[in-house]
Chain A
Amino acid sequence: MAAIELRGLTKVYPGGVRALDALDLVIPDGEFFALLGPSGCGKTTLLRTIAGLETATGGSVVIGERDVTGVQPGGRDVAMVFQDYALFPHMDVTDNIAYPLRIKKVAKAARQAKAAEVGARLGLDHLMDRRPGQLSGGQQQRVALARVMATQAQAFLFDEPLSNLDARLRLEARTFLKKLQRELGVTTVFVTHDQAEALAMADRMAVMEAGHIRQIGTPAEVFQRPANTFVAAFIGSTPMNLLDGVVRGGTLEVAGCALPVPTSAQGLLADGEKIVYGVRPEYNAYASEPAEDALGGKVVIMENLGASHLVTLDVNDVLVQAIVPEGREPAIGEQGWAVPRRDRALVYRDGELVAG
């Protein structure tokens, strides 16, 4: 087990794409760390640079106490699960799981015993003689996990391991993977473009955009206090309301309505300043009667989320969303009021969070 430390890590591909730009990151020993970001932001590149499959253009990679920046992939003592799992199609499950041990020159009987043990732990015991082509997506994923477990590496690197599974299986695999990581206690870097996955599984997470890390924190921190409007817009199953506003005296003028300054930005705003007011639909209470400190408008869209509805209000030509619990759904065209929770609303200045 080992911590991973990246210092000023930069990767420029031939052709000039700057996939990683002076990245600093410390992942403590045993942590389940999620790397989240939109497609093309450099997540895979970061993982591959940690594994040594890409050479860093600048900066360094430290695993444990050892600087491995110039070390070949095989000498870094990390194990990686690829997005397509990369199970060898010509080997059966046993041989696939035992392959890392074969490279380490472990005797055949010993490595088969180890493969059987790991396979049994992941519920693969009845599949050990099959080829990867004869397995379902979920089973292939578990074989890939078993194979990295057999390595007993210092750290695991997972590149979107759940993205090839269908929605239902993904939820099961999520729980399974998290439990497994807990039990093994191996430092794990987990790449995903699915914010729900990152929030659900990670001890801590980083949100990336175009080769930069835009925020690092626990899922709760990132969800409740996104450090900038990029993260705010990216995180959450329903996007955060980000509304242009102006500071007027002690209040904020947003979409033609007057709102109190959120608790987090109290005393940090100058009069007349242009800001962005952010509040998640989950933190907007909905009222069908006129309310104080609220954004009032006409209901234009209703979206069913299952146990609740997402209501979209047209507030003086600005769209504002709020969550309404079951049984209190308004009709389209009615007047409605979204009342932001003052302790959850946020203020952004030049795209960055205003906070003490």
Chain B
Amino acid sequence: MTRFVLGRIGFSTLIAVLLAFFTLPLLWLASAPLTSDPTYKVSVPDFTWENFQTILEHPYALPSLYNSLVLSVGTALVVVLLAALAAYALSRVHLPGRDVLLYVLLLLSSIITGTAAMVPLFQLAVDLQLIDSQFGLILILSGGLLPAAIFMLKDFMDATPKSYEESARVFGATPLQIVRHVVVPLVRPGLATIAVWSVANVWGNFLMPFLLLRDVEKQPAAVIMYTLYTEGGQANLRLLSTFGLLYSVPVVVMYLIVSKKYGFRFHGGIKR
């Protein structure tokens, strides 16, 4: 009996320590912006709005959040649209070597937007005059995300019985009508997952915008974050924490909304 109680106490303590490990940074993120002189320690805030005031007056902070929004939503749209069409075609048309193609694409995709391809990508962007252009950046980011997105969506498409589409075909629906009326609604959880995943990916991407955007007015929040230092080269904790909070809230809100509406799933299958 005693052993059991001791065991329970030990287990609960372990969980508490683990939880604290992950909770502390979040707590810090919640309290530091409201503190006049934050340190690396979590402290009871004195509820000042001064830090938010400063961020609002910062010339690049709020615009950078808007830039992040443009980049991530733009990329998500391109990825969802192209991945849906490609995954549908790949799922329904049997090409020789299709699976090999998919795996190779998936493998290469991790390189495309990774550090390894930095120099050639930069070169390419310069040659195509896509340097310092948000549109160009959206295309490149989409290119990096598409293979994985196609791969995931194809699984959803594969799990959708063909008879739905065939039934619509016999009623006279055109291929685009079939995609709009039947396929898209059936794989909607998949599309939502891909969209959120794309947004989150772009939202947190530092390297690509840092590399390909020159104009500081076009930079997204992830890059601006690195400029929030004091004159002495120290991290400006007041600004960093406040900006960090503003930076993370949209992603959390988006996740909650989409999760409630569609539920996240990374595999196919139909919820009837």
Contact = CB atoms under 8 A, between A and B. Distances in A.
Interface of A: 51-53, 72-76, 78-80, 82-84, 86, 88-90, 99-100, 102-104, 131-133, 151
Given A82-B166, A131-B272, A132-B272, A90 B172 contact: no
Given A103-B172, A103-B173, A103-B177, A86 B167 contact: yes
A99 B167 CA distance: 10
Interface string B32-61: 000000000000000000000000000000
Main secondary structure of the interface of B (DSSP, over half): helix
A75 B168 CA distance: 12
Contacts of B272: 89, 131-133
Nearest to A79: B170
Contact of A82 (B167, B172, B181): B167
A82 B186 contact: no
Question: Nearest 6 CB-CB pairs, A to B?
Answer: A133-B272, A74-B172, A86-B167, A86-B163, A90-B185, A100-B171
B120 interface: no
Interface in B156-174: 161, 163-164, 166-174
B270 A89 contact: yes
Given A82-B163, A86-B161, A88-B164, A73 B170 contact: yes
A131 B172 CA distance: 23
B170 A78 contact: yes
Given A82-B167, A86-B167, A90-B185, A74 B161 contact: no
Q: Which of B163, B167, B172 has the most CB of A within 10 A?
A: B167
A131 B164 CA distance: 15
Contact of A51 (B168, B170, B174): B170
A53 B166 contact: yes
Contact of B171 (A53, A83, A133, A151): A151
Nearest to A104: B172
A131 B270 CA distance: 13
Interface of B: 161, 163-164, 166-174, 177, 181-182, 185-186, 188, 270-272
B93 to A, nearest CB: 13
Contacts, number: 61
A131 B271 CA distance: 11
Contacts of A103: 168, 171-173, 177
Contact of B170 (A53, A88, A132): A53
A73 B163 contact: no
Contacts of A83: 163
Contacts of A104: 172
A89 B186 contact: yes
Q: Which of A72, A83, A89, A151 has the most CB of B within 10 A?
A: A89
Given A73-B169, A82-B167, A86-B167, 14 more contacts: A73-B170, A74-B171, A80-B170, A82-B163, A83-B163, A84-B161, A88-B164, A90-B185, A99-B171, A103-B173, A103-B177, A131-B272, A132-B272, A151-B171
A86 B164 contact: yes
Contacts of B164: 86, 88
Contacts of B163: 82-84, 86
Contacts of A79: 170-171
Nearest to A151: B171
B142 to A, nearest CB: 28
A86 to B, nearest CB: 4
A153 to B, nearest CB: 9
Contact of A88 (B166, B177, B182): B182
Contacts of A132: 272
Contacts of A86: 161, 163-164, 166-167
B178 to A, nearest CB: 10
A132 B185 CA distance: 15
